[in-house]
């Protein structure tokens, strides 16, 4: 089994930025399901056509679709050789169960929750002004995070692989906190 690191955090927590930095530091492959979906939308593939409306509304793409995409990606030779940093997956307990099945019953090596309060992420998302960052979509995504993704924290805790890292502060400060946790493994 390859080394599997998961990074969780509300949209706007900075997890995408930190995930890219961490992948570079540790030489693992960064897999962002949001980036994969946005690439599919840009390329106009069948997946992209199906995902676009869901993403624009701030809803979650279906578990079956997401599990299929990630399973296929995880079987890649690069990931088998170098390990993976999953960014944006799993997002539901069904996705986490599917991941554990792929990993032959075990959880990931480590799941980090990059913790930033709701008020702060809302400000950050409005400030970055991405096309899908309407106030309605932001509210919807944050509500879905509490409903669907927050229960995952318990899921990881139950497998004794959860670490919580404070995501407030500069990019460098947060990166230093993250590497401290990972180096402690």
Minimum CB distance to ligand AMP smaller for 136 or for 180: 136
DSSP, collapsed to helix, strand or coil, labels residue 167 as: coil
Cα–Cα distance measured from residue 173 to residue 105, given in angstroms and rounded to the nearest whole number: 35
Q: Which of residues 106-145 bind ligand AMP (CB under 6 A)?
A: 141
CB of 182 to ligand AMP, least distance (A): 20
- Residue 168 CB, nearest approach to ligand AMP (Å): 19
Q: What whole-number distance in Å separates Cα of residue 34 and Cα of residue 8?
A: 13
Contact positions with ligand AMP (CB under 6 A) in 51-110: 54-55, 58-61, 66, 88-89, 91, 95
CA distance 167 to 14: 7
Smallest gap from Cβ 103 to ligand AMP, in A, equals 16
d(CA 29, CA 110): 15
Positions touching ligand AMP (CB under 6 A) are 11, 33-34, 37, 54-55, 58-61, 66, 88-89, 91, 95, 141
């Amino acid at each position: 089994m390859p080394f599997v690191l998961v990074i969780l955090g509300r949209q706007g927590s900075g997890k995408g930025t930190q995930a890219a930095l961490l992948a570079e530091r540790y030489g693992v492959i960064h897999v962002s399901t949001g980036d994969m979906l946005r690439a599919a939308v840009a390329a106009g593939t069948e997946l992209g056509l199906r995902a676009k409306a869901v993403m624009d509304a701030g809803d979650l793409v279906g578990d079956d679709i997401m599990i299929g995409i990630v399973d296929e990606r995880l079987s890649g030779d690069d990931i088998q050789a170098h390990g993976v940093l999953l960014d944006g997956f799993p997002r539901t307990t069904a996705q986490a169960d599917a991941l554990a099945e792929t990993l032959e019953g075990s959880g990931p090596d480590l799941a980090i929750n990059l913790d930033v309060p709701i008020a702060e992420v809302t400000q950050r998302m409005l400030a970055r002004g991405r096309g899908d960052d309407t106030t309605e979509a932001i509210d919807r995504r944050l509500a879905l995070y509490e409903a669907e993704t927050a229960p995952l924290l318990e899921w990881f805790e139950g497998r004794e692989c959860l670490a919580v890292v404070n995501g407030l502060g500069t990019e460098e400060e947060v990166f230093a906190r993250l590497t401290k946790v990972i180096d402690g493994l």
